[in-house]
Amino acid sequence: MRFDKVRFRYARRAPWTLHDVDATVEPGRTIVVLGRNGAGKSTLLQLAAGVLRPTEGAIRDRPAVLGWVPERFPATQPFTTLGYLRSMAEIRGLPAGAADPWIERLGLTGHADTPLPELSKGTAQKVGLAQALLTPPGLLVLDEPWEGLDASSRVLIPQIVAEVTAAGGAVLVSDHRGEIANLPGALHWTVAGGTLHASAPDQATDARHTFPADPPSSITGGEAGAGSGTGEDEVVIEVAVRRHEAAAAVDRLRAAGHRVTGVREPQPDAVREERAALAESASRVPEKGEGF
């Protein structure tokens, strides 16, 4: 699929949200879309999914089978979970039981008879994900798919992404939570100033992306320098955590009012040097008069 000189704005006299976007989504590729809140990430994904049409330019060669999961699943529809998924299967010419494997895998069995409006945000998101995967997609578009999910459900996203790409599908996914560490090898698209900047996996591996979510109101409305995001009274602390604990660590830091300015994978040489230094420090015997 290709973005061919795509420009988009929401009204005739409105400023351009995106302009001069030229990019290609190749089969079997995962692309993580990064950017500050309001930069145009969701707009880009909606254009990719066909929810929005370009104001100028064109999107060419969109796959025939497309799975789309918006940031907030429209759960006001008059269905139960099971009724909705079976209806979606019927629309696509699938047997009624086509949704059953996804209902089980995504932990929706206990919510099968629950009306959609009564679902929590996280559970509703899983329903949206299930409907997007009823038919193996040639393109899967996920807008902040980790939002509202608990830790046990978040780990499913990288697994599903890997399965789609292994089958030859492409995945476009936006992220501001630092979950990109769980998608190694993904191409990064950064939306800034209405333009799109792409970086290859080897370039993105050690990049520091400074796209924090909105700070808590208790911080932004408080005293100057107290986490106001201006950097006037801040220091940067690097913290290394295990890969599978990255998302939970980001959540805890943000809950404590800290800005998370980036998540990256360390370079292998740097890891070895750091471990060697720690081992040397731990094994060294203090000389006389040194230490306690």
pLDDT tens sequence across 189-227: 999 999 999 887 644 443 334 333 443 333 333 333 334
Q: What is the pLDDT of residue 236?
A: 75
pLDDT tens sequence across 224-250: 333 444 455 677 777 777 665 676 677
Domain identity same for 144 and 44 = yes
CATH code, domain carrying 88: 3.40.50.300
Domain identity same for 59 and 25 = yes
Higher-confidence position of 83 and 290: 83
Q: Is 34 among the domain residues?
A: yes
Q: What percent of the chain lies above the pLDDT cut of 90? A: 52
Domain identity same for 258 and 171 = no
Work out the pLDDT band at 279, boundaries 50, 70, 90.
low
Q: What is the pLDDT of residue 224?
A: 35
Q: Is 154 among the domain residues?
A: yes
Higher-confidence position of 126 and 255: 126
Number of domains the chain contains: 2
Domain identity same for 232 and 199 = no
Q: Is 152 among the domain residues?
A: yes
Domain identity same for 198 and 226 = no
Domain identity same for 195 and 223 = no
**Residue 267 exposed, middle or buried by CB count within 10 Å (0-12, 13-18, 19+):** exposed
Boundary-marking domain end, from 172, 204, 236 = 204
Domain identity same for 127 and 75 = yes
Q: What percent of the chain lies above the pLDDT cut of 70? A: 71
pLDDT tens sequence across 128-180: 999 999 999 999 999 988 888 888 888 889 999 999 999 999 999 998 766 66
Domain identity same for 90 and 52 = yes
Which of 55-59, 141-145, 250-254 is the least confident region? 250-254
Boundary-marking domain end, from 165, 183, 204 = 204
Higher-confidence position of 54 and 146: 54
- φ, ψ for residue 43, nearest 5 deg: -60, -45
Q: What is the mean pLDDT of residues 14-41?
A: 93
Q: Is 114 among the domain residues?
A: yes
Higher-confidence position of 180 and 59: 59
Domain identity same for 250 and 193 = no
Mean pLDDT of the chain: 80
The parent domain of residue 150 ranges over: 2-204
Q: What is the pLDDT of residue 183?
A: 77
Kindly provide the b/e burial profile for residues 273-290, where b requires at least 16 CB atoms within 10 angstroms of the residue's own CB: eeeeeeeeeeeeeeeeee
Q: Is 290 among the domain residues?
A: no
pLDDT tens sequence across 71-106: 888 888 889 999 999 999 999 999 989 999 999 999
Q: Is 8 among the domain residues?
A: yes
The CA distance from 43 to 53, in Å, is 10
Q: What is the pLDDT of residue 232?
A: 56
Q: Is 57 among the domain residues?
A: yes
Q: What is the pLDDT of residue 205?
A: 40
Boundary-marking domain end, from 204, 231, 250 = 204
Domain identity same for 222 and 145 = no
- pTM for the structure as a whole: 0.69
Higher-confidence position of 288 and 249: 249
Q: Is 292 among the domain residues?
A: no
Domain identity same for 139 and 200 = yes
List C-alpha distances in Å: 266 to 26, 52, 182. 27, 38, 13
Domain identity same for 226 and 184 = no
Alpha-carbon torsion angle 147, 153, 155, 159, nearest 10 = -100
Q: Is the dihedral of CA 147, 153, 154, 158 positive or negative?
A: negative
Interaxial angle between packed helices 121-132 and 81-91, expressed in degrees from 0 to 180 and rounded to the nearest 10: 20
Q: What is the pLDDT of residue 208?
A: 37
